[in-house]
């Protein structure tokens, strides 16, 4: 399934709280059944879900990876994302976390501009006419950012029409060590987690409404999920840090 959108000059900014858990297969099936009853499937993938592929950038000194591995209170991610190798557009995203709060800013760019970013040509951000893009340009050029990891996973996503709430279940996490071609049709991925495990992410605004709390109370939420960004950088963890 190819998800297409029209490039827009505006930035989509979303600020929410975020919690993550690692689910067993049994809990995944239980939560999917429950969410089908109380939430609405994401418009991108419906009940069948969709695939997400992202290339993450990091500085020449691996600042973002070090902040993640050391549990810094303030962290950031810069990535380019598509949902199918044939997509004509991509999302350039800057994601920042401050003491449990998350701010994600997204900008739709053309396929050609995404390819330029992957080759280190960050000047395309200056034509986006947004403060987020200008900030990212200064950061990526001054700190010598470059593509550092590519990941892919399968996602089921749900939202609520009246609350700023989003629940996602991601499984089949996979990554590439050296291939950063976002549009490669057959990348040589390696498994990033066990096939029977799922990463549950819950993003909400001021409070999580009662029905979801009741569903979560029936599950084992004691296990911490792996970081997608951290998992994709196995070589750094094994040989450098």
Q: Whose structure tokens read 């939420």?
A: 221
Secondary structure letter of residue 133 according to DSSP: H
CA pair distance 64, 209, nearest whole angstrom: 33
29-60 pLDDT per residue, tens: 999 999 999 999 988 777 889 999 999 999 99
Q: What is the pTM of this model?
A: 0.89
Instruction: Supply φ then ψ for residue 30, to 5 degrees.
Output: -65, -45
pLDDT at 4 over 50: no
Instruction: Report residue 189 as tokens.
Output: 């991925």
CA pair distance 192, 229, nearest whole angstrom: 10
Instruction: Report residue 182 as tokens.
Output: 């976002």
Sign of the dihedral defined by the CA atoms of residues 49, 90, 114, 143, in that order: negative
- Which helix (H) or strand (E) element contains residue 57? strand 50-58
pLDDT averaged over the chain?
Answer: 89
Long-range contacts of 143-147 (CB under 8 A, 24+ apart): 143/59, 143/60, 143/61, 143/63, 144/59, 144/60, 145/57, 145/58, 145/59, 145/60, 145/78, 146/57, 146/58, 146/60, 146/120, 147/55, 147/56, 147/57, 147/118, 147/180
pLDDT at 8 over 60: no
Sign of the dihedral defined by the CA atoms of residues 202, 205, 207, 209, in that order: negative
pLDDT at 240 over 80: no
CA pair distance 186, 62, nearest whole angstrom: 27
Q: What is the DSSP string of 75-90?
A: EEEEEEEESSTT-SEE
126-183 pLDDT per residue, tens: 998 899 999 999 999 999 999 999 999 999 999 987 788 999 999 999 999 889 999 9
Name, in order, each residue with C-beta under 8 angstroms of 29's C-beta and a sequence gap of 6 or more.
none
């Amino acid at each position: 399934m190819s998800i297409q959108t029209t490039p827009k000059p505006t930035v989509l900014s979303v600020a929410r709280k975020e919690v993550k858990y690692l689910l067993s297969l049994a809990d995944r099936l239980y939560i999917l059944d429950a969410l089908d009853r109380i939430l609405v499937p994401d418009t991108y993938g419906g009940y069948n879900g969709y695939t997400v592929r992202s290339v993450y950038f990091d500085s020449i000194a691996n600042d973002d990876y070090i902040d993640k591995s050391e549990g810094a209170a303030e962290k950031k991610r810069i990535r380019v994302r598509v949902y199918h190798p044939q997509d004509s557009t991509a999302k350039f995203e800057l994601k920042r976390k401050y003491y449990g709060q998350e701010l994600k800013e997204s900008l739709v760019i053309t396929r050609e501009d995404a390819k330029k970013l992957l080759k280190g040509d960050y000047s395309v951000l200056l034509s986006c006419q947004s403060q987020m893009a200008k900030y990212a340009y200064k950061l990526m050029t001054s700190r010598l950012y470059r593509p550092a990891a590519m990941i892919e996973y399968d996602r089921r996503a749900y939202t609520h029409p009246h609350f700023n709430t989003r629940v996602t279940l991601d499984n089949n996490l996979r990554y590439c060590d050296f291939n950063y071609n976002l549009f490669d049709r057959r990348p040589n991925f390696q498994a990033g987690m066990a096939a029977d495990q799922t990463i549950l992410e819950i993003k909400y605004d001021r409070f999580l409404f009662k029905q979801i709390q009741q569903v979560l109370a029936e599950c084992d939420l004691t296990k911490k999920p792996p970081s997608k960004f951290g998992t994709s950088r196995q070589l750094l963890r094994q040989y450098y840090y």
